[in-house]
Structure 1
Amino acid sequence: MDREMTPSEKTEYKRHFPNLDVDRARVTDDATDVYNCIAWTVDVDWDWLWPGSTINEFDVFYQGYGFVRQGSGPVAVWALNGDYNQMTHGCISGPGHGPRWESKCGAGLRIQHGLTELEGAIYGQVIAYYAKSRDSRVLDKAAMLQDEVRKSKEVGAMLLDEYQKKALDGLKEAIPKDTVEAFENRFSAWKETWKSGHRILLSNTSYVRHSNEFVELAGMGKEIMPLLIEKLVEPDNFRALHLYDALQTDKFLKVLPGSSEEVILKGERFRAEEVVKLFLSNT
């Protein structure tokens, strides 16, 4: 795909990115929450990859994919207020990405733009660059990871085995029907907020905690955990991990962002799958 922005897209993106030349910007993919900016910088368009909020986590992530931090390079990463602990975004340039820079804007459009045109309150500014490593050991390890990541694309959505289904069904049966109904209504209302306004442009999904809908769901307590686990089985509900993390008091049943190299490298849907397996294996 290579097209101009529509009039409504120009209005919306100019509002969020005042420096963006919307008449020159090119749209290279429509809005989707299947993948995000960081995923696209490593040629992944089937998963949502977010290393964490710190530059150290970004270093681990990009080294895993064969990149090292340098003074310049084809991958630029962004942070708010020049703070290495407030990472926000990544964009890429070079062959296959057009003559300028290319960004997948969270769950929004993928666009080509001038490097500084996305500067502002949402992404901040470019804070570092990454380039391909020349270390054969790093590249060999990255090749193995990329093969593994590609296989995850072929496997597709998570499927529960018979034991897991039986365990989950048993837990759900113990929940009163009015609680189930209230959960479903509140979860739907919360999900509506996930991509509202500028939130659609964000790859760090921790913002989903900052709503009244989240507070209402969290207020229902741990009784809703089986219902939440059922939601996490669905690939598009990985943002609900933030509710799980808020409700789960047993640290051994958590898989937190940045908790391991594997979690950093494989992203939010992998983390959701690990949480589901961990929870159901301990029921």
Structure 2
Amino acid sequence: MGKSAEIIEILKQAFPGLNDDKDFEITSPATPNYNCIAWAYQIKDRWMWPASEASSLDGIYYWPDKIIKTPDVRAFIEAFRLKGYECCDTEDYEEGFQKIALYVVRNTTECTHAARQLRNGKWTSKLGQQNDIQHGTPYTIEGDNYGVVYCIMKRKVKFE
């Protein structure tokens, strides 16, 4: 089994919903340069997380200045509102809109992950320091690792 096949099997074990997801594929090599929140925010050169003041001074983390530094999902919602996102009712693709999904630990408001919808209607996630993947719906990767989808947000975009 090649390295890529091994990675696919590891990911399918970590996210069992990927086993039945015909849209699942690895779309980038592993990189520690950014995380899922940054990827959804469309940042590829640093991690985005509400780190403490001390740890954010080293330049590794980005978090909007006016947003409280807490892992509570409401802070993440406010951070994405700065980019024009608002909560919406469905993950379905809508022409002219970009959507994200925010995940929480089941039965809490502790944010764990973010995924972004692509222009083709499929979804993309950055898996920690590992790969970016494509998946069919935001619900495909729910489970023990990232918890459950807390909300879907969308913003109007103009594609050129």
Picking from 73, 88, 111, the partner of 2:133 is 111
Q: Tell me how large the CA RMSD over aligned residues is.
A: 2.2
Q: In 1, Cα distance between the equivalents of 2:9 and 2:88?
A: 35
Deviation at 1:82, TM superposition (A): 3.6
Q: Which has the higher contact order (CA 8 A, sep 6+)?
A: 2
Residue 116 of structure 2 is aligned to residue 92 of structure 1: yes
AA in 2 matched with 1:77 = L
Matches within 5 A, 1:121-140: 121-132=144-155
Q: In 2, Cα distance between the equivalents of 1:109 and 1:70?
A: 28
Residue identity (%):
27
Name which of structure 1's ranges 32-41 and 5-14 shifts more when overlaid on structure 2. 5-14
Picking from 71, 79, 92, the partner of 2:89 is 71
Matches within 5 A, 1:257-276: none
Runs of 4+ in 1 over 4 A off after TM superposition: none
Deviation at 1:57, TM superposition (A): 0.6
Instruction: Point out the structure with the larger strand share.
Output: 2
- Between the two proteins, the alignment pairs up a number of residues equal to 127
> What secondary structure sits across from 2:18 in the alignment?
coil
Q: Which runs of 5+ in 1 are unaligned?
A: 135-283
Deviation at 1:50, TM superposition (A): 1.6
TM-score, normalisation: structure 2:
0.70
Q: Which runs of 5+ in 2 are unaligned?
A: 51-69, 92-98
Q: In 1, Cα distance between the equivalents of 2:41 and 2:73?
A: 17
Instruction: Point out the structure with the larger helix share.
Output: 1
AA in 2 matched with 1:8 = E
Matched with 1:13 is 11
Structure 1 residues 41 and 76, CA gap change in structure 2 (3 angstroms): same
Matched with 2:60 is none
TM-score, normalisation: structure 1:
0.41
Asked which structure has the greater CA Rg, the reply is 1
Matched with 2:59 is none
1:192-221 per-residue CA deviation (whole Å, 9 max, x = no partner) reads: xxxxxxxxxxxxxxxxxxxxxxxxxxxxxx
Matches within 5 A, 1:72-221: 72=90, 74-84=99-109, 86-95=110-119, 98-115=120-137, 116-132=139-155
Q: Is the 8 A contact 2:12 2:18 kept in 1?
A: yes
Deviation at 1:48, TM superposition (A): 0.6
Residue 78 of structure 2 is aligned to residue 53 of structure 1: no
Structure 1 residues 70 and 82, CA gap change in structure 2 (3 angstroms): farther
